[in-house]
Chain A
């Protein structure tokens, strides 16, 4: 069965420090992978996506993610976090390029001064 796991429910990071959010998936076929960010009062915003090709994907707001097929992972990284990066982050797997999405449980990121 298809599944998406985000092992970290909550992460606290200092402003300026690096951030890595983990995502593992279980899917039979080549997955379509996404990272979204959810801020209060706003809709989910797409940070980046992976369909095929280069396994290191660059996204918006300085985020990047690396697809590792051998580890079934698609971890999100940012070299230096800003206070505005405090939000809920969701990893998602798509059954096709833009169809139905299955989301992970989310990781709440808190940024401290």
Chain B
């Protein structure tokens, strides 16, 4: 099946710094990528949808200036958490949907801890 990777798998940063998370589709071209946030023992909450070459669409309540999403190629989307604060600590998951495969494939997630 199609594989989606995320890097890094874990990151710890200081409050006020920015962190970039990469999401790659390894063996297919992803026209659409989704970013989710998952709090401990809770569900995945959709943050934004990104289509290659266009601006991301953010869900209500998600700060677009804090969570910058770039989908510059058909295999890579990045999420940058700007000026991170402890409340941004969470598990961030991406998923990708391809040109030839309608199914949405999920990455393994990135654990962000902001000190």
Contact = CB atoms under 8 A, between A and B. Distances in A.
Interface of A: 9, 36, 41-46, 90, 97-106
Interface of B is mostly: strand
B12 interface: no
Interface in B8-61: 32, 34, 41-46, 49
B71 interface: no
Interface residues of B, number: 21
B79 interface: no
Interface of B: 4, 32, 34, 41-46, 49, 93, 95, 97, 102-109
Most chain B beta-carbon contacts within 10 A, residue among A44, A97, A100: A44
Contact of A46 (B43, B46, B103, B109): B103
B59 to A, nearest CB: 8
Given A90-B44, A106-B43, A98 B106 contact: no
B93 A100 contact: no
B43 A103 contact: yes
18 contacts: A36-B106, A41-B108, A42-B108, A43-B93, A43-B106, A43-B109, A44-B44, A44-B95, A46-B104, A97-B102, A98-B102, A100-B34, A101-B34, A101-B44, A101-B46, A102-B46, A105-B42, A105-B43
Contacts of A46: 103-104
A42 B107 CA distance: 7
A101 B105 contact: no
